[in-house]
Structure 1
Amino acid sequence: MNKEYALGLDVGGTHITAAVIDINEMKVLDFSVHKESFDSNLPVAEVMAIWEKAIRTSWKDSGIEKLEGLAVCMPGPFDYESGTCWIKGQAKYEHFYSLNIRELIQERLHFSDDLPILFDNDANCFGKGEFFKNAENSSKRVMAVTLGTGLGASFIDNGKAIDSGTQVPTDGELYNLPFKEGMAEDYVSARGLLSRYEAVSGIKISNGLELFNRANDGDVLAIKVFEEVGADLAEIVLPWLRSFEADSFIIGGKIANASVYFLPAFQQKIKEAGSEVTILVSTDNEISALLGATSLLCEI
């Protein structure tokens, strides 16, 4: 297949971002980036109308006539090979349970069955995208995590996600690893941040942004909670940094915006453990996700 341009989609519970990517250069065409915000619990037809608008607007603005495929960064639970959505009870895409997203896109956009429409999870897309964003990563092993409503992870070797073998956890996932009195995601996620803060302050807040604002305002308990999450993240990832022999560790996700509060504690733990891994915080999660998703088309 003569690969030239593809359309990448970064899909979340409240947004969709579309962009056309030059596959040969693995670069986003800047003027093609289009984002729509919406409630993913709307009826399927209404959500798909918003997706269609994002896709058509991005494609039109790119000036590109022919697409070699679509690549979609999609949250789970999801069957990424078949394109079937299994999200349920997560306050997003409630009407999409058991539906085939590939077929919905094909029908809505009148795409041929021959046009590849591929899917991958957000953590893998982020990790692969960070790999492709930095040419220096071409000979490196990259471990990446996304910190947000959950704890995502990816292990990237030469641009490909590794999710099996003794060097990575089962399915390449960190979120469900046993940790303290529960699992890793109970402590390192937005949920973990908010529950910690409520435990130490007696105050229940609704989201991570509010906690970040409290830290910015000098709330010592909010700052302490972020520091604890940084230390816990280090404890969770250290065994896998060693076994995967990672050269770089990259942090993304919405909570990465609060790195000023959790990164020092994380770095200190990593240093104390004797690791010399390069630690980076992503500056553009969405672009990484779009590039990472599009890299799927290079693998077929």
Structure 2
Amino acid sequence: MNIPYAIGLDIGGTHITAAVINIKEMKVIDFSLHKESFDSNLPADEVMDIWKKAIATAIENSKVTAMTGLAVCMPGPFDYQKGICWIKDQSKYEHFYGLNIRDLLLEHLNHSTDFPVLFENDAVCFGKGEVFKEKANLAKKVMAVTLGTGLGACFIDKGVSVAEGECVPTDGEIYNLPYKEGIAEDYVSARGLLSHYKALSGTNLHNGLELYNRAIKGDVIAIKVLEEMGEDLAAVVIPWLEKFGADHFIIGGKIANASAFFLPLFNKKIKEANLEVTVYVSTDNEAAALLGAASMLYKA
């Protein structure tokens, strides 16, 4: 019996991760995962050459010769149906605005125009990947968030992303929900954490990792900032966990590494809201994103 394989890509502002995935069993093929770091502001052709190298290396390492499609996890703004990049003024992919990424990939990989190339939002890929990692989740309602530079979210019902209707916010996004003096992302993101830390301490930190390291060393302000983010995250998501009727809530993104600091207060708020939701933190964001992308080609 022929086993269907697909190429999964997780594309970020400074890296691309490629892997070959068995889309029957939804598993990453051993040794196929390959990551390349690069400057996404290079000319488009140079970036595409780096992507091509990552894909070729993943295929070579997998020892698989036939692929049924290419599934791409891509940050927005992006036209996921047409494959057109609309990223602008974000200090990344400055030469890609308005380009059709599907056509560029087909051209650089020498594939025919009917070769399947599918795109999905990075937060949605993460959530779907977590669902497909545990097949029991395919019968559940799952809300997932990615805590990093920004605040990503997705809502998944029985393996299918839900982005419209009364049970989810507009486009399935929570980053722009009104919250306190601004929007949710002003408080629940690396930017929000650093802003809060500066307001309390007067000190400018460079990134979330620096804040995390300070918390580990016992910096009471850093700890307070992370704890309060747990409360803010709960305040933002609880109404939507209720409306969506979520069984599971999954937390990913780089800030998830600091869950020891923010999760206790988050869980306390969940309990106070009388929600019966299983909360857990992802242990492998990268594999989840790749599996989530490949799920678009899933063969049950």
**Counterpart in the other structure of 2:109:** 109
Deviations 1:118-146 (A, max 9, x none): 00001110110000001221211110000
Deviations 1:86-129 (A, max 9, x none): 11111111111111111111111111111100000011101100
Are the aligned partners of 1:72 and 1:120 in contact in 2 as well (CA < 8 Å)?
yes
Deviations 1:186-240 (A, max 9, x none): 1101110010001000001111011111111111000100011110000000011
TM-aligned CA deviation for residue 16 of structure 1: 0.5
Which whole-Å CA distance do the structure 1 matches of 2:67 and 2:157 have between them?
A: 27
Matched, 1:247 2:217: no
Which whole-Å CA distance do the structure 2 matches of 1:184 and 1:250 have between them?
A: 18
Which whole-Å CA distance do the structure 2 matches of 1:30 and 1:97 have between them?
A: 35
Are the aligned partners of 2:24 and 2:298 in contact in 1 as well (CA < 8 Å)?
no
CA RMSD of aligned residues (A): 1.1
Distance 1:215 1:144, change over 3 A: same
Which whole-Å CA distance do the structure 2 matches of 1:254 and 1:115 have between them?
A: 33
- Equivalent positions of 1:208-287 (< 5 A) are 208-287=208-287
Matched, 1:154 2:154: yes
Match of 1:275, SS? coil
Deviations 1:29-85 (A, max 9, x none): 121100011111122122111101100000111111110000000000000001000
Q: Which amino acid aligns with 2:95?
A: H
TM (normalized to structure 2)? 0.97
Which whole-Å CA distance do the structure 1 matches of 2:25 and 2:239 have between them?
A: 34
**Counterpart in the other structure of 2:199:** 199
Which whole-Å CA distance do the structure 1 matches of 2:218 and 2:236 have between them?
A: 28
Q: Which amino acid aligns with 1:174?
A: I
Which whole-Å CA distance do the structure 2 matches of 1:204 and 1:223 have between them?
A: 16
5+ long unaligned stretches in structure 1: none
Matched, 1:66 2:77: no
Which whole-Å CA distance do the structure 2 matches of 1:147 and 1:255 have between them?
A: 5
Deviations 1:244-266 (A, max 9, x none): 10000000001101111111111
Match of 1:51, SS? helix
Match of 1:94, SS? coil
Q: Which amino acid aligns with 2:270?
A: I
TM-aligned CA deviation for residue 3 of structure 1: 6.9
Q: Which amino acid aligns with 1:126?
A: F
**Counterpart in the other structure of 2:88:** 88
**Counterpart in the other structure of 2:11:** 11
Matched, 1:46 2:52: no
Are the aligned partners of 1:127 and 1:156 in contact in 2 as well (CA < 8 Å)?
yes
Mean CA deviation greater in 71-80 or 101-110: 101-110
TM (normalized to structure 1)? 0.97
Which whole-Å CA distance do the structure 1 matches of 2:3 and 2:199 have between them?
A: 53
Identity, % of aligned pairs? 68
- Count of residues in correspondence between the two structures: 298
Which whole-Å CA distance do the structure 2 matches of 1:133 and 1:204 have between them?
A: 39
